[in-house]
Structure 1
């Protein structure tokens, strides 16, 4: 870079000397005939042309050199990012695989201890066992989500759709989830609107998405509060669906809309799209209190995509709390 700058400065310096030498006043001192003066003026023009070309060439060379250097650095950085991404993928795959067995063993022993020896345990020991069970299950779900995240990234996740009633399906998931919600002092209030609320969906994947969404709702709800779920059927162009989502749907099609609303502190508007990114953690103090892997809503969003649907976040009813909603095509 310094050498290139020196070349440009040298060309400028030469240009200045020749400008003085070929000035009209200087030429008149040396060229005593009209023909000689005209010839000198011609030479002067060509010299200026060549010097200007040299100056332009030097400047272009400098810029091209800078561009080539920047391009080389970008390629190198991209290569490193690919390596880091591969390392991360391999690390997650190894961790997911290696942690399954010890988690299963811990959970098995703690469950056995609680069932077979509950009468011999003190209240404090029972609480310890409950804490072991609860955190082991939480760890199991995190490992499961990390494993699924890598399958999603690799495009190898399988979706096996069957026809099901979404409202009934959600009520069943709520029944399964009631114990965990009750541990946090949170209850569920399901509601449905309409008769035929069926869709073609993968029960396992839909269940996984719902549990991730409901888990988040419970996690950020205050004890004693209610998480509301609502299921309804709408056309793709219905105004109840946000315009940004509505524009990506088929206006002639019918969709099943599912909403899960909590009474927590809500999601800041600037973060409502980011919460569906992998490993994203909100700046909320509640997020710092309830740390997770940051992949639950990312997986839920991808599952909706695989079903031809969409997911989004907004404020809860009356501007309180958060509402996570998604749509999937209604059954034919």
Structure 2
């Protein structure tokens, strides 16, 4: 509004002031007429001007056309109401301006103490002049401009309030959803903890009687309770084999619950990965031989040592070997190949740091088979607990879907990674990468090359 009243004064030469209903000045033009400045230099003149301004501000305007108020200088003020949406919200004051009829200094001005008549006569022509018709046109123009400013400002205010209200409502909804998610997350953590405790408890309780079943079946096979007939021996051996399968499942559940709860024990030491692969291969070799699958292990002697738990690493490659053999048809092959490689160490995102980052030595083990393979879309899901690529009730290959989940958790516990690649023309390759031990540790020096057929 200050810019608007300033432009009105520049165009029409008349001072403009905008006041509220209570008389508070909201905007006014900055220029003061020379005659008014002279009058305000005298105490009596300053008091007279203040009285006139107060009267103009308090002037009650009942018509939208406005009203005029005279001044002791012969000038006039025109006051028009500012209305918006049916109510008066303020007043616009034009003036002081001299009507064309005033050509000499009026007696009311000369009557003020201290006024110099000659100087007043000299400054009087410099006051703004306008007819009543011109003042009415300017006042109407001013009211129209103010109406546009008020309308646009009011709409902008409403839009801002609606926007703020919308943001507050969105924030409220988001806060409620966050609170609900937090509660659900806490509940999920409680359920996960209960599930892990349940798995650990039930697995332990199942393993105790199962150990007795295995022990007594072994004694029956050994003839401690007397010689068994052919069918009796077959039945007991079936009981023993199925008990072994059930024990493996229970042990897998125990391992999974320990890994999820973070209570699994790791006895870390420098480990020769070739020896671990040979032990894992010898464990699964009877299954491979029985199925007619060729199993080979190849690990060069210059491989660096790996800092880890040898028993847990052996469990990783036993699970991978059993998985590869299970999905490989008779006459196929399963290969465990280890090699040394270097990858970039993790660095900050600062520019140039990647150029200064040292290479991290890794030991990579590739377990490749010539089986049915794993679709690319399923390769990340197979590491989820209990996930099966073939989930139909008539699937050919059994299993609970825990082996690969345990593999992934154990590898990550050794600060390594595991992923799956395709193996042309058929099959899959499980790639395990483990960080090498400290640089001062010597290489294993023992080359491993084993073949089970």
Instruction: Name the TM-score, length of structure 2 as normaliser.
Output: 0.55
Mapping for residues 238-277 of structure 1, pairs under 5 Å = 252-277=359-384
SS at match of 1:175: helix
Instruction: Give the C-alpha shift of residue 98 in structure 1.
Output: 0.9
SS at match of 1:228: strand
Instruction: Give the C-alpha shift of residue 77 in structure 1.
Output: 2.3
Superimposed CA distance per residue, residues 126-176 of structure 1 (whole angstroms, 9 cap, x where no aligned partner): 444343333322222222222222222233322223334322332232222
Aligned to 1:326: 432
> RMSD of the alignment, in Å?
3.4
Aligned to 2:262: 155
Mapping for residues 135-214 of structure 1, pairs under 5 Å = 135-196=242-303, 198-214=305-321
Structure 2 contact 324–334 (Cα < 8 Å) conserved: yes
Q: Are residues 1:40 and 2:83 paired?
A: yes
SS at match of 2:387: coil
Q: Which structure 2 residue ranges, 5 or more long, are not aligned?
A: 1-61, 68-78, 90-146, 345-353, 442-453
User: 2:394, 2:341 → 1: CA distance?
Assistant: 33
Mapping for residues 83-102 of structure 1, pairs under 5 Å = 83-102=190-209
Instruction: Give the C-alpha shift of residue 286 in structure 1.
Output: 10
Structure 1 contact 220–286 (Cα < 8 Å) conserved: no
Instruction: Give the C-alpha shift of residue 274 in structure 1.
Output: 2.5
After alignment, is 111-120 or 200-209 more displaced? 111-120
Structure 1 contact 214–260 (Cα < 8 Å) conserved: yes
User: 1:185, 1:172 → 2: CA distance?
Assistant: 20
User: 1:300, 1:103 → 2: CA distance?
Assistant: 25
User: 1:83, 1:273 → 2: CA distance?
Assistant: 26
Is the radius of gyration larger for structure 1 or structure 2? 2
Q: Residue 121 of structure 1 is aligned with which of 220, 229, 235?
A: 229
Q: Are residues 1:229 and 2:336 paired?
A: yes
Aligned to 2:178: 71
SS at match of 1:191: strand
Superimposed CA distance per residue, residues 84-115 of structure 1 (whole angstroms, 9 cap, x where no aligned partner): 22221221121121111022122222222223
Instruction: Count matched residues.
Output: 290
SS at match of 1:222: coil
Superimposed CA distance per residue, residues 22-64 of structure 1 (whole angstroms, 9 cap, x where no aligned partner): xxxxxxxx95424797421464848946765665565455434
The change in CA–CA distance for 1:120 and 1:68 in structure 2 (over 3 A counts) is same
User: 1:175, 1:193 → 2: CA distance?
Assistant: 18
The change in CA–CA distance for 1:70 and 1:228 in structure 2 (over 3 A counts) is same
The change in CA–CA distance for 1:63 and 1:260 in structure 2 (over 3 A counts) is closer
Q: Which structure 1 residue ranges, 5 or more long, are not aligned?
A: 1-29, 238-246
SS at match of 1:40: strand
Instruction: Give the C-alpha shift of residue 324 in structure 1.
Output: 1.1
Structure 2 contact 64–81 (Cα < 8 Å) conserved: no
Higher helix residue share: 1
The change in CA–CA distance for 1:229 and 1:163 in structure 2 (over 3 A counts) is same
User: 2:249, 2:390 → 1: CA distance?
Assistant: 20
User: 1:138, 1:202 → 2: CA distance?
Assistant: 25
User: 1:146, 1:297 → 2: CA distance?
Assistant: 13
Q: Residue 400 of structure 2 is aligned with which of 293, 309, 312?
A: 293
Superimposed CA distance per residue, residues 215-242 of structure 1 (whole angstroms, 9 cap, x where no aligned partner): 11122121332212212233336xxxxx
